[in-house]
Structure 1
Amino acid sequence: MTTAVLDIGKSNVKLVVFDRNGREMESFERPNEVVADGLYPHFDLAGLQQWYVETFRTLPMAGEIETLVPVTHGAAAVLLEGDGTLALPMLDYEYSGPDEIAGDFRAVLDPFGKTFTPDLPGGLAVGRQLFWLERRFPEAFDRVASVLFYPQYWSWWLSDVRSSEVTSFACHSHLWFPMEGRPSDLVVASGWDRLFPPLRPAFQRVGTVRPELAAKTGLSPACEVLNGIHDSNASLVPYLRGQAAPFAVVSSGTWTICMSIGGRLTTLDPARDMIAGADFTGRPTPTLRFMGGREYAAIAGA
C-alpha cells in the first residue's frame, strides 16, 4: 500500500510518500508561513492547499497512492461555515490577542485536575482561541457550523467529510477531560458541543478523495483518506503498539514533547507547563514540553 502523509508542522509543511514496506519514496517541504495582515496573524490555508495540489501533480506515481494521512501540529482549529468557507482565518497560536480576555476566561475554566491543561498564554489552547474569537468577532462566530481540529480540516479538504479526533481534542485545549474521555464542561456550557463533528479514530477511513480534487492532483478517486492525528501523538503510535509501559518518548520539532507512558497524572505541575493529553486510543498521556526546535534555531542563527 502506497501512503502519502500530509505533515503540517508549526514551522514546516511536508508531503512524504512511503511504499508498502514503509520506505520513503518521495519527500517535499516548504516553510509554514504566518500571514501578518488581516484581522490577526493567521495561516495561509489556500496557499497550502495550492502547494499540495501542485506537488501531487508533479508525482508520476500520484495515481498509485492508495492512502492519505493528515498529521499536524496541535493548538490549531479551523472554523467553517456550512458551505465550507472559512468563518474566520485560522489563528496563529502564538498571537497574543487572546490575552485580552485572560481574566474572563480564567473565571470559566475547568479545574486543572479535570482538563490537565494549565492557563496558557496567547492562543496556545484552542479553548482560549474559541473564547476570544466568539467575543471579538461575534457575527462571524455565529456563522460557524463546524470547528475542525487541524488534522481533520485536511481530511475534510481531501474527502469532504467532517470529523473530530481525540488526540487533537485533548491537546492542551481546555476542551477535553482525559480521565473521563469526554468534552469538558466548558464545551457544553459554551454551547460549542454542537460545533464539533462526530469523533472518529485517527486511522479510520473517512472517505475517498473528492472527484474534483482527484482531477486536479492526479490522485485516484478511489484513494482512501484517513481521519488524521496530532503530530506528537503520531510519533508515539509505534511504541504503544510494540512496547510495554512504563517508558517515555521524546518527539522533536518546533516543540520538544516528552511523553510518559505509564506515568502518574497526580504528579503533574501546571506551573511547570506539565499537561496530559490523550493518545490515539484515548488513554491519558502525562506530558511536558518546551520550544526546543525554536530555541535551537535561535542558537544556531537559523
Structure 2
Amino acid sequence: MKPTPVIAVFDVGKTNKKLFLFDEQYKIVFERSARFLETVDEDGDPCENLESLRLSIFDSLREVFKNPAFEVKSINFATYGASFVYIDEDGKPLAPLYNYLKAYPEDLKEQFYNTYGGAAEFSNRTASPVLGSLNSGMQLYRIKYEKPELFAQIKYALHLPQYLSYLISGEAYSDITSIGCHTNLWDFTKNDYHEWVKKEGIAEKLAPIVAADSVIPAAFPGNNYAVGPGVHDSSAALVPYLVNFHEPFVLLSTGTWCISLNPFNSSPLTADELEHDCLCYLQYEGKPVKASRLFSGYEHEQQVKRIAAHFGTDVIAYRSVPFDPKIIEELQQMGKEEEFAKRNLNAYATDVMAYHQLILDLVNQQYISTKRVLDGTAVKRIFVDGGFSKNAIFMNLLAMAFPELEVFAAYMAQATAVGAALAIHKSWNTKPLPNDIIELKYYAGGTVLN
C-alpha cells in the first residue's frame, strides 16, 4: 500500500508537548503526547527541561520515519513564546531555557527604560507592555550585564520554535511571529529592530529573519523532507482563520488568557491601550495584529471553585450549564456591574444563578477588552475558539453584547498545529488550501442558530 503523504507538526506548550501528523486534507492521522518534569536554573527557578524536549523530538521522529504507513514531506513547529535558547558555535545550548515568569531585576529594568526613552514611549514603539522576562529581548539584555562571559559565547539566541527547527535543519533563523510578540525587540513604527538591539550588540546574536512560509532542507543526508522555521503559537492559531475568511474579523482565543486578536487593525497602540494590556503581534505574513488580553479563564476557574464550595456542589457541574435568559434578566435588574470576586454569594438563591452572574461579569469585562481592538475597524464577525466557545451562557451573552456583529463559536481540532502546517502548505501539500476545517455555530443576540 502506498504511504500517506503527511506533515509532522510539533506543538509544544508549557505543559503538553504533542506531535501530530496531518494528511493532505488536514485530518490528524497520528498523534503522540508527552509531558516532562521541569528542571531548575542556576537560581533554583523552574524552567523547561531542554534535553528531555530535544530527545523526545528525535524519538518521536524516529518512530514516525519507521512507520511504513506515512511519508513525511515536511516538519514544522509551534511553541509558546518569550523563551530563548542560547547556542554556541557548535549549536550546543549554553544556558537553561529561562522561564518567562522569572522575576526581573528592578534596577536593570530601570536602567534599560531610562536609557531608551522611558517606559511609555518605548512600549508604544515596540507594542510591548512592560512585562520583565516576558519581554524576551530583556532576557538577552540581562545576560549581557549580569553574565558577560556567557553573552560573549552566544553565537545565536533562538526563540524556542526556531531552536527546534534548528535541531532538524541545522540552520539557524529568526521568525517574525516570535520577534513581533511583546519581545521589546521590534520597532513597529519602523518595521525593523529597535535601535537598542543594534546599540547593545544584540543584533549580531539574532539569526537572519526568514519568512514563516519558507522551508529549509533537512540536515540528514538521504532525507528529502523540508523543515519549516517554526512559528509562535498565538500567531499559528490565527493562520487557519486568515486562510479561510477574508472579510474582516476578530478572533477571540479563549483559554487561561482570553485574547482578542484583530488582524485588520494596524493602528499604533495608544498609551491608554498599553495601560489596559493591549499589545501587537506580527502574524505569519508579517502584518501587525492588534490584541487585547484578559485573565478570564484563570478567573473563571477560581470563581467556580468558590461557587462550588459555597453551595456544596462539584465544580464538574458547571461544565455545561444551559443558558437561562430569565436568570440574566433578573440579574440585570438586581444591581451594578462589578468583579465577581467581590460579590457576596449569599445574594444568590441558587448556584446556577451565581454561575450566570459569574459569566455575565466576565462578558462585561470581555466586551470592554474586545472593543479596544475593534473600534475604528470594519470588523463584522467575532469568532470564539477555545474553552469559552463551548460555554452556552458565555456565547449567548457575548452575542447580546455585540448585537451589530455576527458572533460564532468556532470549533477546530488543534488550531495551533493546523496553523503551523498551513503556514508551509505549499512545501508538502499537492491539494488546494482547505476551506472546511473550521466548524461554526452562529449565536444571534442571545439565540443559537445551528
TM-score of Structure 1 vs Structure 2, range by shorter chain:
0.7 to 0.9
State the distance in 2 between where 1:7 and 1:75 align.
Answer: 15
Equivalent residue, structure 2, for 1:104: 111
- Residue 61 of structure 1: how far off its partner (Å): 4.5
The secondary structure found in structure 1 opposite 2:174 is coil
- Residue 240 of structure 1: how far off its partner (Å): 2.0
Equivalent residue, structure 1, for 2:131: 120
Residue type of the alignment partner of 1:288: S
1:29 to 1:117, Cα distance in 2 relative to 1, 3 A: same
1:290 to 1:132, Cα distance in 2 relative to 1, 3 A: farther
State the distance in 1 between where 2:26 and 2:301 align.
Answer: 30
The secondary structure found in structure 2 opposite 1:269 is helix
Q: Which of 174, 178, 190 does residue 168 from structure 1 map onto?
A: 178
Task: Give the number of equivalent residue pairs.
Answer: 293
- Residue 85 of structure 1: how far off its partner (Å): 1.4
State the distance in 1 between where 2:220 and 2:69 align.
Answer: 15
- Residue 291 of structure 1: how far off its partner (Å): 4.5
Q: Which of 250, 268, 293 does residue 265 from structure 1 map onto?
A: 268
- Residue 245 of structure 1: how far off its partner (Å): 4.8
1:241 to 1:270, Cα distance in 2 relative to 1, 3 A: same
The secondary structure found in structure 2 opposite 1:282 is coil
State the distance in 1 between where 2:202 and 2:159 align.
Answer: 13
- Residue 131 of structure 1: how far off its partner (Å): 1.4
More helix as a share of residues? 2
Equivalent residue, structure 2, for 1:183: 193
The higher radius of gyration belongs to: 2
Residue type of the alignment partner of 2:34: R
Residue type of the alignment partner of 2:268: L
Equivalent residue, structure 1, for 2:49: 44
Q: Which of 57, 72, 79 does residue 72 from structure 1 map onto?
A: 79
Q: Is contact 1:10-1:32 (8 Å) kept?
A: no
State the distance in 1 between where 2:257 and 2:220 align.
Answer: 33
1:3 to 1:297, Cα distance in 2 relative to 1, 3 A: farther
- Residue 293 of structure 1: how far off its partner (Å): 5.3
1:66-101 residue CA offsets vs partner (Å, 9 max, x unmatched): 110111111111111111111221111011144452
- Residue 62 of structure 1: how far off its partner (Å): 8.0
State the distance in 1 between where 2:142 and 2:237 align.
Answer: 31
Instruction: Give TM-score scaled by structure 1 length.
Output: 0.88
Equivalent residue, structure 2, for 1:215: none
Q: Give unmatched runs, 5+ long, in structure 2.
A: 306-314, 316-450
* Of 251-260 and 141-150, the range deviating more from structure 2: 251-260
Instruction: Give TM-score scaled by structure 2 length.
Output: 0.60
State the distance in 2 between where 1:199 and 1:205 align.
Answer: 12
Q: Is contact 2:269-2:278 (8 Å) kept?
A: no
Q: Which of 18, 36, 39 does residue 35 from structure 1 map onto?
A: 39
Equivalent residue, structure 1, for 2:324: none
Q: Is contact 2:88-2:153 (8 Å) kept?
A: yes
RMSD of Structure 2 on Structure 1 (CA): 2.4
Equivalent residue, structure 1, for 2:289: 285
State the distance in 1 between where 2:37 and 2:182 align.
Answer: 23
Equivalent residue, structure 2, for 1:225: 227
Equivalent residue, structure 1, for 2:148: 138
1:129 to 1:270, Cα distance in 2 relative to 1, 3 A: same
Where relative contact order (Cα < 8 A, 6+ residues apart) is larger, the structure is 1
Q: Is contact 2:259-2:293 (8 Å) kept?
A: yes
Q: Is contact 1:14-1:29 (8 Å) kept?
A: yes
Q: Which of 6, 9, 32 does residue 5 from structure 1 map onto?
A: 9
Q: What percentage of residue pairs aligned between the two structures are identical?
A: 27
Equivalent residue, structure 1, for 2:339: none
Residue type of the alignment partner of 2:226: E
Equivalent residue, structure 2, for 1:156: 166
Q: Is contact 2:269-2:279 (8 Å) kept?
A: no
The secondary structure found in structure 2 opposite 1:202 is coil
